[in-house]
Structure 1
Amino acid sequence: MLLFCSHLQGSQYYIGQIRDERFYPEIHGRMSWEGGQLGGPRTLLDANGRRIFFDWVRELRGNERERASGWSGVMTVPRLLSLDPSGHLQIDPVPELEVLRLDPRRHESIDVPADSEVAVEGVGGDCLELAVEIDPREAREVGLKVRRSPGGEEETAVSYDAAAAVLRVDVSRSSLDREIRYTRYRSLQPHLPESEQYVTAQEGPFELAPGELLTLRIFLDRSILEVFANRRQCVTQRIQPRRQPVCARRCGQGSVAASLDAGSDADVTLSNRTGTLQLSGGADPAQQTEPSENARVPEKRQSIASSFKHLTTSYRVAQTR
């Protein structure tokens, strides 16, 4: 696998064969699409032989606000890269991230009438992990909304569009901050008119096989959103809402069945344009100050801390090289 970054289109890769000291690409893929912010892919090989991927997610706040903040960009969560039996890329969050989970909660058999949204109580905040499983059946579009304000003024929609065969993150209402805009390419292009410089959604190619469930792992951490789908696609997006809450939705005919596990706080709203969603949820370890409800978690954190330490150390070494 050959990772590279295009100045205009961000992080990309080729998968192929090396023969006679030459690389022969067979599969091309992108990790960032129009409106995306990835632009500095790096990997390392850990002590267990795993290929761990990190990438830099750039800012949206403009040069002056970025300089004033004293920092620039944020890294993705560590991702485990591997190949499936057909030779295509598999993308997973590293299992070490599971140590951050606390006080898991489950919401099941939630009925979402057609063309409506249902808020899931008791799940709220801006740092969380969501594990979602949806049977899309005949739906043309299914998904959820995250960081949704109580009045819906701000929200980010994550969805699978079966007709377009894409995994979509709609940022058209992600922030009330008018300075937050999503460029089509990684920089403004003087030859393009203003109307073509910006987009309102990032879409990565993705298609479910007949009868296949949609399985999402979603990570939210303040201004960063990472959506993993069925181990074979991941869309990363910066979002900077001024208000808090999460949501799930459905468009099309017939019913939908789903389950959701949340590993941190975030208000969840389910929307459906005909169907039923079954959910489960959880709480935010980053905001948990006392381990009283899960006394074994500190031990769990301690036992796995060395893995993260090794990853961090190895990554710094890889960067210096």
Structure 2
Amino acid sequence: MKLSFNSRDYYIVGTYDSEQDKFLPDAEFTGTGSDLRIDYGKFYASKTFFDSKMNRRIIWAWVNESDSSEDDIQKGWSGLQAIPRQIWLDRTGKQLVQWPVEELNNLRDNQVYVYGKQLESDSVFEVSGITASQADIEIMFELPELEEAEFMDTSLVDPQLICDRQDSSVAGKYGPFGLLALATKDLTERTAVFFRIFRGDNRYVVLMCNEQKRSSLRDNLDKTTYGAFVDIDPRQEMVPLRTLIDHSIIESFGGKGRTCITARVYPKLAINNKAHLFAFNNGTLSVTISSLHAWSMNKARVNCWGGLDNMESC
């Protein structure tokens, strides 16, 4: 069951009793940071439809601006829709999983790839050969020494607050590591999408962040840092990230779609062909890029319908 308020989309997993016409939740909604959200960034008023031809449910949502109403008036428009995502319940039945619809892959062009790249402490690696302002990146991080991770009691913390206080410039042991998107060559502007790994009670904890503190030299922008935990066990699988970049929007999917964060950013310098993309590691322990695949993305093809006798493409 989905709840949409305060410009956020929450959900509760449960069972629908058709005889009593009641929804029986597995857990109560608390109104705190522990509640499940479809996306932990700018993403709300979502709607779904069922695609019977391909037996899938697709979700589409609204993404509002992070600049001023004066900027909206100057542009002549405000807000946009996130890319369509396929959505389903994971095997454990505990949470939703989302992934960009497969048709989006038709826009991919000019692929580059990297395998087995080790990122030492305090290192940055540029992903070159693609259009960094409009790109699709899939990356897998391998962590060889998990027992060295820092301890954290997750019952006492707010993931978004950790991401804000321990941003991409604050070195931990495992993390921050991830991507610097819509960045200038000298990193004056950059939006960081990154992970931190902690040891919890009898398990490991994966934290995913989107930090916009240095996303733009412009003032008067909403540069909120977003954060959420990713329900994966790094002992059994690598830490995967897929990020879609489209000029002023960055949609990221951690843990193969278990945690999603969407952000609006407005770089002043890192625009069009002046934008760069980097993988980075600012933790004291090295991480390995097991694989990285990145593509330039072409513009979407939109069909225009002009009536039965006049169908054209534009």
Is the shorter-chain TM-score for this pair beyond 0.5, marking a shared fold?
yes
1:211 paired with 2:236, answer yes
Q: 1:83 aligns with which of 81, 85, 89?
A: 89
Q: Deviations over 1:64-101 (max 9, x none)?
A: 21123221111111111111221121111111111111
CA distance in structure 2 between the partners assigned to 1:172 and 1:240 by the alignment: 12
- 8 Å CA contact 1:162–1:207 kept in 2: the answer is no
Q: Where does residue 270 of structure 1 map in the other structure? A: none
CA distance in structure 2 between the partners assigned to 1:125 and 1:140 by the alignment: 26
Q: Where does residue 220 of structure 1 map in the other structure? A: 245
Q: Where does residue 275 of structure 1 map in the other structure? A: none
CA distance in structure 2 between the partners assigned to 1:166 and 1:114 by the alignment: 19
**CA-atom RMSD, angstroms?**
2.2
SS at match of 1:165: strand
Q: 1:15 aligns with which of 2, 13, 30?
A: 13
Q: 1:156 aligns with which of 177, 181, 191?
A: 191
Q: Where does residue 51 of structure 1 map in the other structure? A: 57
- 8 Å CA contact 1:157–1:171 kept in 2: the answer is yes
Q: Where does residue 108 of structure 2 map in the other structure? A: 101
- 8 Å CA contact 1:3–1:41 kept in 2: the answer is no
Q: 1:37 aligns with which of 34, 42, 45?
A: 42
CA distance in structure 2 between the partners assigned to 1:160 and 1:260 by the alignment: 16
Unaligned runs of 5+ in 2: 28-34, 147-172, 199-204, 304-314
Q: Where does residue 236 of structure 1 map in the other structure? A: 262
Superposed displacement of residue 174, structure 1: 0.5
CA distance in structure 2 between the partners assigned to 1:254 and 1:132 by the alignment: 16
Q: Where does residue 317 of structure 1 map in the other structure? A: none
Q: Deviations over 1:154-203 (max 9, x none)?
A: 00111111126321011110111112123xxxxxxxxxxxxxxxx4x100
TM-score after normalising by structure 2: 0.73
Q: 2:67 aligns with which of 36, 61, 68?
A: 61
CA distance in structure 2 between the partners assigned to 1:207 and 1:50 by the alignment: 23
CA distance in structure 2 between the partners assigned to 1:109 and 1:65 by the alignment: 44
Q: How many residues align?
A: 250
CA distance in structure 1 between the partners assigned to 2:286 and 2:220 by the alignment: 40
TM-score after normalising by structure 1: 0.72
Q: Where does residue 3 of structure 1 map in the other structure? A: 2
1:256 paired with 2:288, answer yes
More helix by percentage: 1
SS at match of 1:67: helix
- 8 Å CA contact 2:39–2:259 kept in 1: the answer is no
Percent identity between the two aligned chains: 25
CA distance in structure 2 between the partners assigned to 1:49 and 1:120 by the alignment: 36
- 8 Å CA contact 2:118–2:288 kept in 1: the answer is no
| Structure 1 pair 234–91 and aligned structure 2 pair: CA distance change class (3 A) | same
Superposed displacement of residue 32, structure 1: 4.2
CA distance in structure 2 between the partners assigned to 1:148 and 1:31 by the alignment: 27
CA distance in structure 1 between the partners assigned to 2:215 and 2:10 by the alignment: 25
Unaligned runs of 5+ in 1: 183-198, 265-283, 287-300, 310-321
CA distance in structure 2 between the partners assigned to 1:215 and 1:165 by the alignment: 11
SS at match of 2:73: helix
With 86-95 and 102-111 compared, the bigger mean Cα shift is at 102-111
CA distance in structure 1 between the partners assigned to 2:39 and 2:239 by the alignment: 21
- 8 Å CA contact 1:127–1:220 kept in 2: the answer is yes
CA distance in structure 2 between the partners assigned to 1:235 and 1:76 by the alignment: 11
Superposed displacement of residue 120, structure 1: 3.1
CA distance in structure 2 between the partners assigned to 1:99 and 1:247 by the alignment: 24
Q: Where does residue 172 of structure 1 map in the other structure? A: 213
Q: Where does residue 169 of structure 2 map in the other structure? A: none
Superposed displacement of residue 207, structure 1: 4.1
Q: Deviations over 1:45-70 (max 9, x none)?
A: 11233110011010111112112322
